[in-house]
Every structure is written in structure tokens, then in C-alpha cells.
Amino acid sequence: MILVTHNGQEKQCYAEDITAMVLDKMRKIAENYLGSTVKSAVITVPAYFGDSQRRATKAAGLSAGINVMRIMNEPSAAAISFGLYKKAGWSSPRNVMIFDLGGGTLDVSLLTMSTSGDFQVKATAGDTHLGGQDFDNRLVNYCAEKFKREHKLDVSGNKRALRRLKNECEKAKKRLSFESDIDVEIDCLCENTDFTVTFTRAIFEQVNMDLFIKCMDPVKKCLAYAKMNINGVDDVLLAGGSSRIPMVQQLLQKFFKGKELCKGVNPDEAVAYGAAIQAAALSGNGKGKFIQDFTLKDVTPLPLVMEGTDVKGMKKLMNLIPRNTIIPVRKCREFCTVKDNQVLIDFRIYEGESSIPANLNFLAECSFHGIPPAPKHVHIIPCFLRN
């Protein structure tokens, strides 16, 4: 539950409720712009979202009165917008890496794009706890420490002061992508004391350098999952507002041995643009050969595992669908009875990467009833899982 304060009143809300409010507001903005009712939409999510997060997002869309046509991975949507932008620019298939650094998450996907408009996701990696907000928070901490040194006042417990600092730090972060230094002045930040600070790009990079370097980890993982080296990547597309940060771009360019980064598509709009193209294709109302002909094959961001009982009666996790498996997919796992006259088989399905069930995302529990009594190991029960 999330505690929300509005007009002096506190209210507890589920994350889905707040997401539904945001989606409803977005729908109304679109309706005002289009001058018509919006009933259906494609909603994008970070590629690393698990099943429960995707279901919650879809539920929020339905709660907002939206017919959710598809839940789509954000890097895949960005790739579609890039494909339309560059559709006449190449004569052979290309391997494209999508580096999507947003406000709260980082997604990296590697896709192969054919000249006919076929998009095949090869691998995806990411960090659901790394994004622009983390860079903002580092600046806020820098300011709070400076204010404490200069005025002997601690704002760490002052919500109003922190909110004002966060707002100014976010603005400064964005401006520092295009300017070398920024002067920030906040009147009466705490106890009628003003605060002034000069942010330089060097200061911003210094307080965030470890996070910027951390952004390269999903890039390396994605290449490893796809079994590809940097020489196999033809294009690197930037998406998400935080991909504008110069140091992030420098680290990416250095990693790819000086390769020019693709900036032709607005990073803030790339995902929304691709989702709109997907919605047009699904609705059957899209115009143009690209929209009518393109196809997208995505992959599972996390492995699906099953927990059953082995012949020794011990619980055991079995990897059924590995990460980055092309979807839709159908897999079969055979179970046998482990006790004489066993008439029931139970197993659980999880999502994630761990050998400990408590660290995985529980999806479902299944049971096979009515197995005819017989000696153990006689009955073989096939179980099919589809994703």
C-alpha cells in the first residue's frame, strides 16, 4: 500500500490504483488532442517486468476504462519506431541494441531487424532499480550535505524541503545535458534560510559516476545472453530521457569502440511512438506498408521454473523455460509418481533466477488428481506449459 496525502487528507492506495489514475489522465490528454474517444491502447512496461507486474499493469489499464490490446516491452516499442525511421536506410538485416534509460528503470535489448520489417528480439537484460531518479537523489544528497555544512541545519527529515530540492535537482540534471554549469537558488529552504548552489557537469558526473558505470552491466549481460560481441552490433539506439546524459553516452560509445550512437528518434517519444505503431497494426487501421507488414517476436525476460518432488521425496526446482526464449513457446515436462499408490501430484511454477523458492516470483500451483493406484514410477504424467 502507498500512503498518499492530498488536500491535507491521507489515503492508502495500491500501486495499481495510482497507475490507473495516471493512465486515465493520459487517455484524457489523448482524447483532447485527437478530438475523439480513446477506447483501446497498447501499454508498455520495462522489459524486465515479471508476470505479476504485467498483470497489475493490465488491470490498471482496465480500471482506467482502457481496452488493453497488448502489454509490450519498452525496448521493443523503441525498436519499432527506429525501424520505421530507418526503414529505407539499409539493404541487409541489422543487429540493433536498444539502450532505454528512463526515470526509474534501465532496459537493454538486442534485436535483429530484417529489411522486410521483421523484428526478432535476441536477448534482453536490465535493472528495475536504476534510472534518472537515482541520479536526482544523488544531487539531493549533495545539496543536503552542503546545506548542513554551511548552515548547521539538517533537511533530511523535512519532506517539504526535500521535495523542493528534488524538483530543482531534476531540472538541473536535465539542463546539465546541454550546459556546463547551473546556478540554483531556493528561497527559505529550511527555517527561513535560503540555499544557493552551483552545479557543474563535473560535479554531477562525480556524484553519479558509479551509477553511470553500473549502466554498462546490462549491456554486457545482454550481449552475453545473445552470444554476440560488440562487433556484431550494427546500431545502438538511445531511448528514455536519461539516455541524453553526456557521460552515459560517452561510456556507451567507449564500450562500442567509438561507434556513433543513433539519436534520430526523440528518446522521450521513441517508446510511445512504437506503441502507437503496434496499436495501429493490431487495430487493422494502420496505413502504410511498414505498419501493415511488420512482425515482432519477443522473448521471456526471466526463466520459468517448476518445483516438484524427486524420486527421493525431496523438493526440486527444474528450469522449464529459460530466459530469452522466443514467445509464444510451449514446453513439456514429464512427472512420475514417487510413492506406491500415489493418486496426486503437486507442483508449483515460479519466475526468476534463484535456487531458493522464497527468492522467486510465485505464479501458480497445479495438481493432478485421480491417478490410478499403482507402484511408484509406473505412471508418467506429461505437463505442458505455455507462455
Q: What is the DSSP letter of 32?
A: H
Q: Which amino acid is at 159?
A: K
CB 297 within 8 A of CB 355: no
The runs of H, that is alpha helices, within the chain are 15-34, 51-63, 74-85, 132-151, 159-175, 201-214, 216-226, 246-255, 270-283, 289-293
CB 121 within 8 A of CB 98: no
- For the chain, what are the domain ranges? 2-130+215-297, 132-211, 304-386
Query: CA 282: distance to chain centroid?
Result: 22
Residues 223, 304: Cα–Cα separation, whole Å = 21
Collapse the DSSP code of 77 into the 3-class scheme (helix H, G, I; strand E, B; otherwise coil) and give the result.
helix
Cell numbers for 223: 550481449
| pLDDT attached to residue 311 | 66
Q: State whether CATH 3.10.310.30 applies to domain 2-130+215-297.
A: no
Q: Which residue, 308, 300, 316, 374, is CA-closest to 340?
A: 374
Average pLDDT for runs of 10 along the chain of length 387: 78 90 95 94 92 93 95 92 72 90 94 85 93 97 95 92 95 95 94 94 97 98 95 94 96 96 89 92 77 82 83 78 87 81 86 87 85 84 74
CB 53 within 8 A of CB 45: yes
Q: State whether CATH 3.30.420.40 applies to domain 304-386.
A: no
Q: Which amino acid is at 153?
A: L
| pLDDT attached to residue 308 | 78
pTM of the entire predicted model? 0.86
Residues 381, 75: Cα–Cα separation, whole Å = 39
| CATH T-level fold of 132-211 | Actin; Chain A, domain 4 (3.90.640)
Q: Which residue, 67, 72, 55, is CA-closest to 271?
A: 72
The runs of H, that is alpha helices, within 89-158 are 132-151
Collapse the DSSP code of 43 into the 3-class scheme (helix H, G, I; strand E, B; otherwise coil) and give the result.
strand
Cell numbers for 164: 523542493
Which residue matches cell numbers 537515482?
134
CB 100 within 8 A of CB 271: yes
User: Residue 384: beta bridge partners?
Assistant: 332
> Which residues have C-beta within 8 Å of that of residue 103, sequence separation ≥ 6?
131, 132, 133, 240, 241, 242
| pLDDT attached to residue 173 | 96
Residues 83, 101: Cα–Cα separation, whole Å = 19
